[in-house]
Structure 1
Amino acid sequence: MDPLSADSASPQGSVPSLQAQQDAAGLGTEATSQPIAKPLPEPEQTQLPTNSTLPTAAGAAPSSKADPSLPPDLAARQQLLIQADQLYQKGQREAAEALYQQAKEPFPGQSNVLPLAEPIFAPTSLPRAGQVYWRESEAGLQQKLQTRIFVPLGLLVKEYPQFVPGHLRLAEALTAAGKPEEALEVMTQAASLYPNQPEVQKGLIQQQAQGKKWLDAAITARQFTLLNPDHADALAFSQLAETYQQKFEARLRSDITNNTIGSVVTGALGIALTGNPLSGLSTLQTSILLLRGETAVGNAIAERTQRRLPMIEDAEVQAYVDRIGSKLTRLTGRPLDYQFYVINDEKLNAFALPGGKVFINGGAILKSQSEAELAGLMAHELSHAVLSHGFQLVTQSSATGGVTKFLPFVGGLLGNLAEADYSRDMEQQADLMGTRLLVSAGYAADGLRNLMVTLQQEEKGPLLPWFSSHPLSQDRIHYLEWLIIKNGYNRYAYEGIEEHQRIQELVRSQLKALKIEKDI
């Protein structure tokens, strides 16, 4: 039987159908206003600026030279990438890819990376040991013996994570045993392994909804729709996303009405927006802002940020960032009011506000070695906005008083951007979607991964601002490498060295001018 057709009468180890979840959530079958993401187009051909020169023939020397400050081996590598870019732009893709492969070494341990097994649903498809675990858990459920339930199921999901019913049964058993947080963790891990598998995502949504984590459930449903726009269940997931978003907003209105959120958020949000602890917004103002949704929150913070932080106003720099942003945003499947800003600050930093406002430090342009690396950073931040991670943190902060962790300046300290303390799950979701956007826009798939490797090698002093809120670890780099290999994403596509170098010079001059101005 098709696993997607399981309904609420299915045996333990399955989840209610999407229709059953919609009915439980109070959602009818008519279409909603939530837009459905269109299928991602084929990677587009990146256009070089009109003032760029191309080699006259395949294999001709590039028109610009590598950075003379680089060591000889890195300079030679950069020269290869420049020439490969030019051939790529001429449509000589095979010749370009040959040079990209010559310039890029395989990922460390790439030959040892095993592709993730395809999901299976029938117990008879399991190896003998897996079938034994499954039968033991069935016997344990019948006898209501927890040891006989949880030991074999734990071994089953560990040794055979591709067996989807194992995760579902373990989560259901944990819920029945009064361990909802452990059940949620089981489905969260399964969903990170199989983000495109609807049964797994339905199981996660079910756990989130049972815990009344309405915004989490909405984000999970939305992510499936965005990553799988042509899937038969895309519309149903979109409707679930809207339903749980409405439930979240209803609870938010109730919390504000009962004044359980206003006292905490008012002071913190007021300090962050005005830079003055004595000038906090009123409870009514804060309530209205939050109830108007993520776009209103993002707009309010973006306006204040532009007034309080020094911005790079060079038209060419802004056009460059806007061009990259446009290539990415048209692929997100979510019609937010996307805008991009460049801050005159040498620190490597970038952050996304709710509603699609993305701020990038000049230092991010200088530290990235190519357009693809900068695009990878921007795609990651865009994904946080598209998946509503920032708004989720703002609203959840009412319970912890941590709203100032999200907002971009606290207590009037202009240079100290205190960004969102994203969870590991949020980071993986943004890495997953960001890499998909990067590839679909025609860039080399390892853009963000390469930026992380470079910065990990350079980092010796205090933690860079971006990494204070986006934890960098070898595991995260390995996760990006695994994503690229597992999905067959192309590392040997457009890098964009020449134009990026020219923009870097403009950014350096802007940073230098600001420093001179401050010293006067």
Structure 2
Amino acid sequence: MKQIQRFFLVSLTALLLTVFTGTWPTIFKAVARSSNPVYVAQSLNDLAPILQQLPTSVRDRLTTFISGDELYRQGDAEGAAAFYRQVKPDFEVSDTQILEPIYEAEALSPESLADWQQAQLALDDDDEAGAIEALQSLVDREPAFIPAPVQLAELLMEEDEEDEAIAVLEEAATLHPYSTEIIMAQVETLADEKEYLEASIAAREFALLNLDHPQAPEFQALADEYFEKFSKRRRRRSIFGAIGNLAAGILTGDRVPWESWNSAVETAELVELMLASESEFGASLAAEYREQLPLVEDPDVVDYVTQLGLEVAQLMGRDFDYEFYVVQDSVMNAFALPGGKIFVNSGLILGANSQAELAGVLAHEAAHSVLSHGIQSFFRDDMLSQFADEVPLGEFATGLLSLQYSRNQERQADILGTRVLATAGYAADGLRNFMATLVAMTESAPPEYLSSHPNSESRVAYLEEMIQRNGYNRYALEGVDKHLAIQAKLS
């Protein structure tokens, strides 16, 4: 009786997710009850024992996806798309979040044009305050006009309002991630303020998103230059900090000299490792996590995740030694360490509905590593101070997970992850569909993944618009067949 109740509960949940999200559900328990849970799925015949467990409507939906998968792998992309279109509804039209850039003042509305002209007149009269006021009004009224935030940021810098200038350009870069004028102004402003890591990340993101752009090599060179400047600056700070901690420990008598020295050296060595090689630093942290976390050892599962992750990560543009680990944990979560070390919970694999969805999550997490978001958050939150003058690597590894990515970091990872997902030949809406599933689940019990990846509903709409605007293919490989087989092994 309990098995029957469980089956119908899962089936009902599946149907509700199908109705409300337009995505197909994952049937964890039903798959687990299959008479033979180990499959290498290549066709509908291989998956028949799994599909027979499911309600007719769900089975028909999955069968359609699997038929499309088979055709896509045979090279019949057009035939596959015809199947996918039967079960993938069009995106709903929503308010635009991606703006078409405006470069000429003549294209502005009368009100916006009046703001621009007022700002130029104020500048002619050396009235910087009046120009700033008019430009701020223009930025608020017409954020698509590229020259306004660039000029506004320049004036704010001249008035020693550096934080405001950086905030203006960060918001503009969020709205216009493909604008060379905005991104170059952002990079230069951050570098002028010696915010070298942020300048490096902004330049690297543009280079990776615009591989064919004639200025991509220039932005890549800037990214490398500013990361090196950041590293040198942090090394000097860590050395001076270690000397200060040593002196303080001796003068206050809190520690004998050799204890203070050992602590100072340990802290300095950790910072040096972090800055010398993100891959080596990430590998050290990953070793700590492997000791702490229960890892899935099944070679089929591990190989599946690793191969899928490498397919997207190797298109990211950084020569990391990427590694992927599966954690035996029912919580839907994943996280990225510096240097391309990615951990994904078994619960997230069971929560994703296809290879495309899981690849989207892995691409998003790899993007965090590629863009050095973990390092950025670490120094932003001044994490070293949380451990006083001793930083045991194990405690540091635990504390790193408490760091939250900013809204801008999340959007950067979404943009790069989705572009790479589409380039890899998977359905470009894989990450979008996974986020949509999470949004549908928030009314009852919000998944853990949402606590570190906020504003998912808004991000779903943004991803939809980005996919359509860039012409990414929603009807490429879904990979439902192989994903169902791996889910069966994890259930």
Q: Deviations over 1:239-259 (max 9, x none)?
A: 211221121112101111211
2:430 is matched with which residue: 447, 456, 474? 447
Letter in 2 for 1:103: V
Matches within 5 A, 1:358-397: 358-397=342-381
Contact 1:443 1:493 in 2 (8 A): yes
Letter in 2 for 1:105: P
Whether 1:214 aligns to 2:196 is yes
Deviation, structure 1 residue 68: 5.4
Change (3 A) 1:88 1:158: same
Q: TM-score, normalised by structure 1?
A: 0.76
* Whole-angstrom distance in 2 between the partners of 1:357 and 1:187: 31
Contact 1:62 1:82 in 2 (8 A): no
Q: Deviations over 1:79-126 (max 9, x none)?
A: 221111112222222222122111011223x2x455845434333343
Letter in 1 for 2:293: L
* Whole-angstrom distance in 1 between the partners of 2:372 and 2:412: 11
Change (3 A) 1:102 1:139: same
Contact 1:161 1:190 in 2 (8 A): yes
* 2:325 counterpart SS class: strand
* Whole-angstrom distance in 1 between the partners of 2:278 and 2:174: 25
Change (3 A) 1:423 1:409: farther
- 1:435: which partner in 2? 418
* Whole-angstrom distance in 2 between the partners of 1:242 and 1:115: 31
Deviation, structure 1 residue 281: 8.2
Contact 1:81 1:99 in 2 (8 A): yes
- 2:285: which partner in 1? 301
* 2:360 counterpart SS class: helix
1:102 is matched with which residue: 52, 62, 86? 86
Contact 1:113 1:482 in 2 (8 A): no
Deviation, structure 1 residue 411: 9.2
Deviation, structure 1 residue 389: 0.6
* 1:282 counterpart SS class: helix
* Whole-angstrom distance in 2 between the partners of 1:490 and 1:65: 31
Deviation, structure 1 residue 348: 1.1
Deviation, structure 1 residue 178: 3.1
Deviation, structure 1 residue 72: 4.5
- 1:246: which partner in 2? 228
Letter in 1 for 2:372: S
- 1:40: which partner in 2? none
Contact 1:262 1:286 in 2 (8 A): no
Alignment RMSD (CA, Å): 3.1
* Whole-angstrom distance in 2 between the partners of 1:92 and 1:496: 15
1:80 is matched with which residue: 64, 73, 98? 64
* Whole-angstrom distance in 2 between the partners of 1:479 and 1:118: 14
Letter in 2 for 1:102: Q
Change (3 A) 1:399 1:240: same
Letter in 1 for 2:329: D
Change (3 A) 1:143 1:412: closer
* Whole-angstrom distance in 2 between the partners of 1:454 and 1:419: 24
Deviation, structure 1 residue 231: 1.7
* Whole-angstrom distance in 2 between the partners of 1:403 and 1:85: 50
1:504 is matched with which residue: 463, 475, 487? 487
- 1:485: which partner in 2? 468
Change (3 A) 1:166 1:400: farther
Percent identity over the alignment?
38
* 1:157 counterpart SS class: helix
Q: Deviations over 1:121-171 (max 9, x none)?
A: 333343444332211101122334456323432332234333211111111
* 2:324 counterpart SS class: strand
Contact 1:218 1:241 in 2 (8 A): yes
Aligned residues: 435
Structure possessing the higher relative contact order (Cα contacts under 8 Å, 6 or more residues apart): 2
- 1:474: which partner in 2? 457
More helix per residue = 2
* Whole-angstrom distance in 2 between the partners of 1:63 and 1:328: 26
Letter in 2 for 1:250: K
* Whole-angstrom distance in 2 between the partners of 1:382 and 1:388: 10
* Whole-angstrom distance in 2 between the partners of 1:184 and 1:67: 54
Change (3 A) 1:322 1:399: closer
- 1:516: which partner in 2? none
Contact 1:350 1:358 in 2 (8 A): yes
* Whole-angstrom distance in 1 between the partners of 2:462 and 2:150: 24
Letter in 2 for 1:471: P
Change (3 A) 1:399 1:85: closer
- 2:186: which partner in 1? 204
- 1:163: which partner in 2? 145
* 1:230 counterpart SS class: coil
Q: Deviations over 1:294-320 (max 9, x none)?
A: 222201101111122111111111111
* 2:241 counterpart SS class: coil
Whether 1:352 aligns to 2:342 is no
Change (3 A) 1:283 1:260: closer
Letter in 2 for 1:342: V
Letter in 2 for 1:100: Y
Q: TM-score, normalised by structure 2?
A: 0.80
Unaligned runs of 5+ residues in structure 2 are 1-38, 247-262
Change (3 A) 1:170 1:51: same
Change (3 A) 1:53 1:388: closer
Unaligned runs of 5+ residues in structure 1 are 1-49, 56-60, 265-278, 509-520
Change (3 A) 1:353 1:417: closer
Letter in 2 for 1:249: S
Contact 1:66 1:75 in 2 (8 A): no
Contact 2:333 2:448 in 1 (8 A): yes
Q: Deviations over 1:198-229 (max 9, x none)?
A: 11110111221232211000111111111112
* 2:382 counterpart SS class: helix
* 1:154 counterpart SS class: helix
Deviation, structure 1 residue 236: 1.6
Q: Deviations over 1:43-92 (max 9, x none)?
A: xxxxxxx954457xxxxx99647755655444332222111111222222
* Whole-angstrom distance in 1 between the partners of 2:160 and 2:480: 55
